[in-house]
Structure 1
């Protein structure tokens, strides 16, 4: 089993609407560059020192001289930034108010080089992988020579949920990811997804209407994503992370669907848990 460590760089949950700078961190660009580099390096080293080395860091892609760690080490993942469509470390790094070059590019580069200093790989994660316009806006704007480059990361990470927009379909995802692969030639992952197992989705039209709300539907949904990734050019579809399989007490996971988990209320695994065994 692989582990993904998600670095939110905030005192609270980070997502497309929340990316506040940690209260103890500086707010100026130079201070943030140093802080995010040091913090990222120290986290990666701490995992390695306790015997759980990280195999990928997710921030955007970065070779750091090696994509894979030696075979005798288990595969682990870490994610630099969470759904950073509008940048990270707000307000300093907020793209909609500061632009791309003000902070988002240099702090992503600093985070990535922090990974490199600890010799692991990296990945950048944005939301709505099906939405071509938003994906292209971010990736067409985030790169700037000397601040953030395609060499700063290993692979692209995207969220893909069925209940936030009825047009978040397999075909839309495939079109967007194919465009990214053709343009940049890098691997992609769907690093957040889920499907309702039971109950209802109040006021929501699921994007793939033929799939039932059921445990079997969870497997069908994920298998559909597998098929999208398998069809990407050059074998660049790398994998899927199900979020969140076991958060009992928060089974809706912020959505209008009542239960998206891979376990029941007692923590017993549902049949859909086995979808990743093959």
Structure 2
């Protein structure tokens, strides 16, 4: 498609729209009493394409440092890790799940033109935590346990805390997709409970064994419609007592496995993550049910993408309600904002239209920086028991020579792999 002219490409897209679904369309799930708009933000979408641009990027100070080692002696590093999740500490995190896949496809990262490890670059500019997703048995190897252990060692070598995001699926899990791992697809519900417990305990045990324990464990990803469908599904026709009981039993099994496996059971934090970050009614109904059924967790994780979830004020209103109602820590588990509406590769980006932007936050490097800065201020302003913080999603997901990226224009690195000035927002 790179050989097509812009005009020809535009005509092709208009014609094909009648025959092919928009992969960025958000299915609407109708639980009893409210609607949930479901972002399929792990898919690529049709964009309003503009000409490729380079980022206007003021040079940043970067220390000359070697590649981080897999592990360093504990006495030689400042360990953020568990300490960063203590009550009152503010978490500044980034999802680094795609790192080795990007590098394997030729992606490189730079600061002021010098090649460097992107996680080290982010740490130098204020990041103190990383988030890593774990899939059960993925086809292509990405996000498997072996890769997770390697990323945990990298984070540990840099003194960064680790949030382990367990999807309980072989692929993406979100409000529109919560497919059981193939290995669990035909087991009884009692066996599913056992598998949830044993698997969670096993993977955290593997991290403990190599001395890289997670500070935070996410039991599922964006789970307001449940996990391990259809047993733990709770939206639409599944919104009944039977399925809510099943969901809470599954969550309790995972939480038990996480707490029992850890060498630091009193320090490990359990996060429950949902995407309905600006929907107060949906948030209340979900967490009320979990609390009433005795689900034991420490942190409420929220996804916030303005083009799907709306204004920062709506987010603030819901965070304040959740913090006061449940007395839990509040963390933005996923967020991002574009620094351009342009593109480098032929993969459709998850955001690419001017109408998807927040007022006052243009799709520029400065606009991206302002968004991150204001979001941090907003979360810090919430009165919440426990930890608070944000995790930036897609920050390292640049377009590589042999692999496109639907997040290339929301990354914290430009189309050449150079870190953007907007990363300074994490230091302000």
- TM normalised by structure 2 equals 0.54
SS in structure 1 at match of 2:318: helix
**Alpha-carbon deviation of 1:141?**
2.3
Q: CA deviation at 1:277?
A: 3.0
* 2:229 alignment partner, one of 74, 90, 94: 90
Separation of aligned partners in 2, 1:206 and 1:184: 32
Deviations 1:181-202 (A, max 9, x none): 1111111000100000112554
Secondary structure of 1:178's aligned partner? helix
1:269 aligned onto 2:396: no
Aligned to 2:307: 163
**Which stretches in structure 1 are left out of the alignment for 5+ residues?**
59-79
Asked if the contact 2:299/2:387 (under 8 Å) is kept, the reply is no
Specify the alignment match of 1:72 in structure 2.
Answer: none
Shift of 1:207: 5.5
Write the mapping of 1:47-62 to structure 2, written as runs, cut at 5 A: 47-58=207-218
Query: Does structure 2 conserve the Cα–Cα contact (< 8 Å) formed by 1:57 and 1:121?
Result: yes
1:19 aligns with 2:19: no
**Aligned partners of 1:87, 1:248: CA distance in 2, in Å?**
31
Distance 2:358 2:169 in 1: 34
Q: Where do 1:165-184 residues align within 5 Å?
A: 165=309, 168-184=310-326
Q: Secondary structure at the match of 1:260?
A: coil
Change (3 A) 1:247 1:162: same
**Correspondence list, 1:48-197, <5 A:** 48-58=208-218, 80-96=219-235, 97=238, 99=240, 100-118=243-261, 119=265, 120-145=268-293, 148-149=294-295, 152-165=296-309, 168-197=310-339
* Structure whose alpha-carbon radius of gyration is higher: 2
Kindly state the Cα deviation for residue 208 of structure 1 after the two structures are TM-superposed.
Answer: 2.3
Q: Tell me how far apart the structure 2 counterparts of residues 202 and 161 of structure 1 sit (CA, whole Å).
A: 13
Q: Note the alpha carbon deviations across 1:114-137, whole angstroms, 9 max, x for none.
A: 111023321010003122122122
Tell me: CA distance 1:9–1:204, structure 2 relative to 1, closer, same or farther (3 Å).
Answer: farther
Preserved CA contact (<8 Å) 2:324 2:384 = no
Q: Specify the alignment match of 1:70 in structure 2.
A: none
Bigger RCO of structures 1 and 2 (CA < 8 A, at least 6 apart): 2
Q: Retained in 1: the 8 A contact 2:331–2:388?
A: yes
2:341, 2:353 within 8 Å by CA — same for their partners in 1?
Answer: no
Residue number in structure 2 paired with 1:2: 129
Note the C-alpha offset of 1:98.
5.3
- Once residues 269 and 239 of structure 1 are traced to their aligned partners in structure 2, the CA distance between those partners, rounded to angstroms, is 22
> Quick one: structure 1 residues 92 and 17, their matched pair in 2 at CA, closer, same or farther if it must change by over 3 Å?
same
Cα distance in 2 between the residues matched to 1:116 and 1:181: 23
Q: Does 2:424 correspond to 1:239? A: no
| 1:213 Cα offset (Å) | 0.5
Match of 2:201 in 1: 41
State the TM-score, normalized to the length of structure 1.
0.82
Q: Is residue 367 of structure 2 the alignment partner of residue 217 of structure 1?
A: yes
